[in-house]
Structure 1
């Protein structure tokens, strides 16, 4: 490597690039791993293999680094591999960064013009026996879930014509159908959404194309028994700004949040757009129907949480100015004014939810989130933290009344990463099972994988698998039971 990485908060301290692939057979464990856990906990983090082409970069633009914790018979094996995208391979061959700013091909080296820009760094999910590395500006990348070998970018055998694919598909718990979409589906800065339903064998069973009110960001989605929801956050993209070397996204404080609602098998003529006050839209907890109304649970913030993409005047809030809550947004198909009504479900400043997947799209009660309590932190001389890495507790929220049922924090010198929920068994009541997540031990500069029993969350881990190094903060991850590793076609 001919030059070092920048010493910016996004690329130093805890977030310094790891540039590492490897395996650890049989991790050291304190406590006992429940015998009924049989599967893999997958996660993906942005981890650039070369210093940024433009001198510095944002966290979201690193190469995808996938980790797998294979849990079986009380043991845990660890594996970590890069998603070997065309971008990754071309830069590896050149021994330098060739791609420029996040989602802006006009800042790339001319030698990679037209090459896929995907990093596969945002989420990993199982479908049809394959692990899919997802990045919402591109098509998904298939990987072998056992070896983490990269199999390649996929348009599902020509069935998906969208240029992009969401990082947050939803799965129907009864049918296994994958509900998914791409926004900017026809190319950069377009207002097109392509919506798909893909069955467990990989066959597209429904497709619909429609346009949103402005070319905004649609990071997550939700499904109910009869509908699909697309929350559009008030960031806009602009092709001329990108051609001039500017950012892909710009915060728009004067725009409404809009929520697109379409019947599961609906077409473009069926889409209705509900408007709500300007806000930053977080990750979906869940959505369900009751009495003919749709209820969508999601964290909302009063201002732009992605401060690296300011408004037209260059304004971005200080993180301390951000206020938020977990909100319940009511979308009534009978309303003629198409206004979204929101009320506080919980005042907790919490994000990155994990629900019992058996209750996705239905009335539910239990949700587990990452909470933030800055007053409880004491890092001393520990490495600097970027603002998006300050979650330090797990919160069990009751979605019926918004109360905190229990919580657990790993200590004043530790932070947490996104949890996944695993039911105790097929017949277990909702929310009864285990949370799996990484804990960042800043005082030791290394990470733990913890297994928490949701029935006794406040008691702390029933098992802790010690890693001998730090794990960069991931974006998202998922759990897959061992039965999911077999392809259906």
Structure 2
């Protein structure tokens, strides 16, 4: 009998659900927009077996993919495991075989050298496949209609790096997927690959380069001409792993770098510009874009570490105030001979993370951004918590052109998961469409899918879709139109 630890990461709303399900025509309130015809895919870490070492962080749970198929004013639900090599080996053994997060030294001898990916970080549709991503291994690909697993994608052997990002970008002009792979030559190495994949799914570019130091490179930006990569000292090392410490720890003594890497077939170290600034924390990216010789990247920036589960390397206690991030624009000038940033500009005083944009404007000047907001002024039930400890209780819309904002609060006993923008039509103006997102109903131990008018979030959801099971706190997800994924209207199961 499975006995999960009696710890915050495995009890209450965080209790592993381990549910595969098909549910047709979920009950809903309000009106599901008639123009929505496609599917919202999202992923949650969901441990198949109790942790091998007795307890674990949520980031090490197995990937469980949820699909909300929206069509004809209704929503159909399907949920399936991302069946990684780890999942299959542990299923066969009937127990956990892989140990601590990104620490192969803690694994059972029987699985030494196997892919450790949990495929639990992002669910992404590209080239007719569902990509289940975890950045410590190649991406896992699945059938977007049946949600059956194909296997890890190595592009017919063309991919020579060992890892693939959990945050790829789609160039709106070429249709190419742009990706990185950090620790490309092995765990804790400073080698990174930059890759581009054609709309047909062929790896057409793989460029190797080195970064100033090894760290978690969870996200990045692109412009029409450049890959824009921020290096922030959530650092790791074999020494940490040998001591049994968490893989990553935050070092407040180290500088932050921004790399501007040309997007072309031949790149040397001399072609890459590295700019440097004082210490701070930044993980996710709104967007990046060029303006003459200047390159901008917009990130939620905090004065100090935002992840308590990756503690300070010198033992300083976690500081949630210093770990509060706000939208910030970093600007560098390629015409400058200096390694200094040209400007660092606060875009909003709202505290938040999980930023999203209208993805049709990836790498281009843009106007709108959405993020999950931490609004400390709102009342909250003391039982509400998330896997990160962040109280993500509101949705925020930023209008970067006018400087105005909108906010929507989800209530004292609920929290929100990452928003996803869906354009009203292929050619709709920027921001015209909907936000789809999961709401955690903590007091009811279940979830809702919310649909909001993307440019009028203050009026609240236009539809609330009741999910009769509890969706664990998820990470990232994306939308795909029906014609991208082989889903016919009214089809629940293939």
Shorter-chain TM range is over 0.9
> Residues 246, 484 of structure 1: CA spacing in aligned structure 2 closer, same or farther, 3 A cutoff?
same
The aligned counterpart of 2:491 is none
1:484 deviation in Å? 1.3
The aligned counterpart of 2:490 is none
- Contact 2:26/2:467 (<8 A) preserved: yes
The aligned counterpart of 1:482 is 482
Equivalent position SS for 1:374: coil
Equivalent position SS for 1:295: strand
The aligned counterpart of 2:71 is 72
- Contact 1:13/1:385 (<8 A) preserved: no
The aligned counterpart of 2:398 is 397
Q: Deviations over 1:101-144 (max 9, x none)?
A: 10010010111111110100000111110000000001000011
The aligned counterpart of 2:7 is 8
The answer to whether the aligner puts 1:347 opposite 2:349 as a matched pair is yes
The aligned counterpart of 1:373 is 375
- Contact 2:58/2:387 (<8 A) preserved: no
- Contact 1:180/1:196 (<8 A) preserved: yes
Aligned mates of 1:378, 1:136 — CA distance in 2: 34
The aligned counterpart of 1:81 is 80
Equivalent position SS for 1:342: strand
- Contact 1:377/1:413 (<8 A) preserved: no
Aligned mates of 2:404, 2:384 — CA distance in 1: 34
The aligned counterpart of 2:448 is 448
1:172 deviation in Å? 0.7
1:99 deviation in Å? 0.6
- Contact 2:307/2:388 (<8 A) preserved: no
The aligned counterpart of 1:312 is 313
1:5 deviation in Å? 1.0
Aligned mates of 1:176, 1:21 — CA distance in 2: 33
Equivalent position SS for 1:376: coil
Deviates more, 1:286-295 or 1:416-425: 286-295
CA RMSD of aligned residues (A): 1.6
- Contact 1:304/1:316 (<8 A) preserved: no
> Residues 17, 209 of structure 1: CA spacing in aligned structure 2 closer, same or farther, 3 A cutoff?
same
- Contact 2:386/2:473 (<8 A) preserved: no
1:240 deviation in Å? 3.0
The aligned counterpart of 1:273 is 274
Aligned mates of 2:283, 2:117 — CA distance in 1: 23
Q: Deviations over 1:41-96 (max 9, x none)?
A: 00001011111111111110000010000011111100111111110111111111
- Contact 2:325/2:353 (<8 A) preserved: no
> Residues 447, 79 of structure 1: CA spacing in aligned structure 2 closer, same or farther, 3 A cutoff?
same
TM-score, normalising length from structure 2?
A: 0.95
1:375 deviation in Å? 3.0
The aligned counterpart of 1:154 is 153
> Residues 461, 311 of structure 1: CA spacing in aligned structure 2 closer, same or farther, 3 A cutoff?
closer
Deviates more, 1:278-287 or 1:451-460: 451-460
- Contact 2:119/2:134 (<8 A) preserved: yes
Q: Deviations over 1:148-167 (max 9, x none)?
A: 11111110111111100000
- Contact 2:31/2:73 (<8 A) preserved: yes
Equivalent position SS for 2:371: strand
Aligned mates of 1:392, 1:210 — CA distance in 2: 40
Aligned mates of 1:466, 1:53 — CA distance in 2: 34
The aligned counterpart of 2:492 is none
1:389 deviation in Å? 4.5
- Contact 2:305/2:322 (<8 A) preserved: no
Equivalent position SS for 2:335: coil
Which aligned pairs between 1:183-262 and structure 2 lie closer than 5 A? Answer: 183-262=182-261
1:268 deviation in Å? 2.8
- Contact 1:128/1:486 (<8 A) preserved: no
- Contact 1:345/1:401 (<8 A) preserved: no
1:242 deviation in Å? 1.6
- Contact 1:448/1:465 (<8 A) preserved: yes
Matched length: 484
Equivalent position SS for 1:37: coil
Q: Deviations over 1:332-375 (max 9, x none)?
A: 11121211231111111111112111111111101111111133
The aligned counterpart of 1:136 is 135
Which aligned pairs between 1:287-302 and structure 2 lie closer than 5 A? Answer: 287-302=288-303
Equivalent position SS for 2:55: coil
- Contact 1:419/1:436 (<8 A) preserved: yes
Aligned mates of 1:201, 1:78 — CA distance in 2: 28
> Residues 314, 43 of structure 1: CA spacing in aligned structure 2 closer, same or farther, 3 A cutoff?
same
Equivalent position SS for 2:377: helix
Aligned mates of 2:456, 2:246 — CA distance in 1: 46
Aligned mates of 1:73, 1:312 — CA distance in 2: 53
TM-score, normalising length from structure 1?
A: 0.96
Which aligned pairs between 1:12-31 and structure 2 lie closer than 5 A? Answer: 12-31=11-30
